[in-house]
Amino acid sequence: MLPLSLRQLQVFESVARHLNHSRAAAELFLSQPAVSMQIKQAEQTIGMPLFEQVGKKLFLTEAGREMLHYSRSIVLLMQEMETVFDEMKGLEHGHLNIAVVSTANYFMPQLLAKFIQAHPKINVSLSVANRDAVIKQLEDNSADLAIMGQPPEGTDMVAEPFMENPLVVIASPTHPLSLVTHIQAKQLVKETFLLREQGSGTRGVVERFFASHKLPLPAHMAMDTNEAIKQSVQAGMGIGIISSHGIELELETKRLVVLDVDHFPIVRHWYIVHRKDKRASVAAQELARFLAEESQNRTSSLTPDTPKKPTVTSKLAK
């Protein structure tokens, strides 16, 4: 069997990740016929089909799944080799693909803008998606780093906290509880809560909060975005629990208020997440260091009444 070329492995990995020839062609700056030819040649080389088409959908065969495992490792090693040579030349440049969950999009663009201004030779791409999609980007190696509040479980990823993420209870300014201080958990049981979908990090915090007080989860409506929660709370449909990072504008314009609930804010953390087997580039290390430094100012400005805790420095930044 003739050896597969690196180009064939790169093309296969892209098609397998997208399960779409057109998207792979666009990503690799190739024509669709050229992509199809590379896949055909790879299949001829190994003597087995790598894909099967059912209707309009493309699926990996068993051989394709095996090939994907090895091709990802080889492509990753090639990228790391390029990074090492760039570092040996003393070049601070490169491309960073960053994926963030939707809530983090309230503060990450501003931080990235400042980072890019300080490091103009580093080309940064930002992808905003839900948690599952962000994790998939890490698994597919299409994202170098991810920012999220609930890191994935398992041993394939490394999650390092870099900034506090205070969760607060929000309501419309006209809500009766907006005038009450030291609200107890039992006073919230009769309220309607607007919550994120089952399985989200914020939803878990709410469930654990009421369980810790031996109270049932109040009546609630599930919503798939924080924007939907904010709009619904403003409309008086109920109260919500959300990251304070996502309501700065609404608090400024007095469209929302933070309720004075005992045991709140509940302080969680934002995490930098990356694959354990991925070598951190100079650009990735520099971004991790930058985020660790910026987090102190950000946390203190958003929660002035909360004692500032030491920031955890990412291992990437070392």
Q: Tell me which long-range contacts 18-22 makes (C-beta under 8 A, separation of at least 24).
A: 19/57, 19/58, 19/59, 19/60, 20/58, 21/58
Residue in the structure block whose two tokens are 């390029």: 82
Domain ranges of the chain: 6-85, 92-163+269-317, 165-267
- pLDDT (tens digit per residue) in 214-239: 999 898 898 888 889 999 999 999 99
- pLDDT (tens digit per residue) in 121-155: 788 889 988 888 898 888 888 888 999 988 888 77
- Least confident range of 58-67, 171-180, 285-294: 285-294
- My answer on whether omega of the bond before 49 falls inside 30° of 0, hence cis, is no
Q: Is the pLDDT confidence value at 120 over 90?
A: no
Residue in the structure block whose two tokens are 């080889």: 74
Tokens in use for 49? Answer: 């089909």
- pLDDT (tens digit per residue) in 243-267: 898 898 899 999 999 999 999 999 9
- Least confident range of 18-27, 56-65, 121-130: 121-130
- CATH fit for domain 92-163+269-317, picks 3.40.190.10, 1.10.220.10, 3.40.50.970, 3.40.50.1370: 3.40.190.10
Hey, what CATH class is 165-267 in? alpha beta
- What is the reported pLDDT for 52? 92
Residue in the structure block whose two tokens are 């990228």: 79
Tokens in use for 213? Answer: 């007080």
- pLDDT (tens digit per residue) in 75-116: 888 877 877 776 655 555 677 889 998 888 888 888 999 998
Domain 6-85 and domain 165-267, same fold? Reply is no
| Angle in degrees, CA 254, 106, 125, rounded to 5 | 160
- CATH fit for domain 6-85, picks 3.40.190.10, 1.10.150.120, 3.30.450.20, 1.10.10.10: 1.10.10.10
pLDDT band for 307, please (50, 70, 90 cuts): very low
- What is the reported pLDDT for 65? 92
- What is the reported pLDDT for 314? 44
- What is the reported pLDDT for 309? 36
